[in-house]
Structure 1
Amino acid sequence: MVNFNYETAFELSNESAYEKWISTIILSENKKEGELNYIFCDDDYLHNINVEYLNHDTLTDIISFDYTVGNELNGDVFISVERVRDNATDFNVPFSEELLRVMAHGILHYCGYKDKTEADADLMRKKEEEKIKLFHVEL
């Protein structure tokens, strides 16, 4: 079950399309869907979480808390809409594409993909691109 929560003045235009896409990502990785919560917020909200729970005094676009059990993906994915907007501008991509990238990124972490080394980050980027394409197919 995928839930969307809003802690800022932002809302997905078609939640069911995003929900279906996330389910497709999970199935494409041979995983099972548990309870996944996406929480869309602003920089301040996510910064507070970063400081309190991770002891990082920096801005970030996403923080995911993984509660996966075996093959069933469960977790909370916090996304700063402000940071996604800024990153979209910095990377010269549409906001909608950068949002998909970040949303997929959280799920990919739950699937076991990492991004701390250059090789892992390269694989993560390839997987993000692959999963973004699934969204366009689903619409």
Structure 2
Amino acid sequence: MINFNYETNFQLEDEQELSVWISNSIIEEKKSEGEINYIFCSDDYLHKINVEFLEHDTLTDIISFDYTVGKELHGDIYISVDRVKENASDFEVPFKHELARVMIHGILHYCGYKDKTKEDASLMRSKEDYYLSKR
């Protein structure tokens, strides 16, 4: 089950459509959907989590806590709406596009994709692009 939670004034306009898209992406990755919580928040909210849990004193667009069991995906995905808006502007893409990229990025991490090396980041970006093309 995919849940959308809000710790800021932001609200998704298309929860059902996004939920179906994410579910289909999970199935295509040959995984099953457990409980996945998206929490949309501000820079300040996510920064506190970044410092407290990861000891990183930086802003970020996403932090995901992975509770996956076997092939069943579970986790909490925190997304800074402020950071996504700024990144969309920097990358000159629509906000909805950048938001969807970040949302699927968290799911891909749960599926086992990494992004720390150049090769891993390239594969992650390729997978993001692939699933964005199916939205």
TM-score (norm 1): 0.96
Instruction: Give the % identical residues.
Output: 67
Partner residue, 1:120: 120
2:28 pairs with 1:24: no
Give the deviation of 1:93 after TM superposition. 0.5
1:103 alignment counterpart? 103
- Give the secondary structure class of the aligned counterpart of 1:82: helix
Residue number in structure 2 paired with 1:59? 59
- TM-aligned CA deviation for residue 134 of structure 1: 1.5
Matched, 1:84 2:84: yes
Q: Secondary structure at the match of 2:134?
A: helix
Superposed displacement of residue 6, structure 1: 0.3
**Distance in 1 between the 2:14 and 2:122 partners?**
30
**In the aligned structure 2, how far is the partner of 1:14 from the partner of 1:60?**
24
Q: Give me the CA root mean square deviation.
A: 0.4
Indicate whether 1:10 and 2:13 are aligned.
no
Structure 1 residue 14: Cα displacement? 1.5
Number of equivalenced pairs: 135
Output the CA distance in 2 between the equivalents of 1:14 and 1:59: 26
Hey, what does 1:69 align to over in structure 2?
69
| Match of residue 50 from structure 1 | 50
State how far apart, in whole Å, the 1-side matches of 2:77 and 2:132 are: 17
Q: Is there any run of 5+ residues in structure 1 with no aligned partner, and where?
A: none
After TM superposition, which residue ranges in structure 1, 4 or more long, deviate above 3 angstroms? none
Structure 2 residues without counterparts, runs of 5 or longer: none
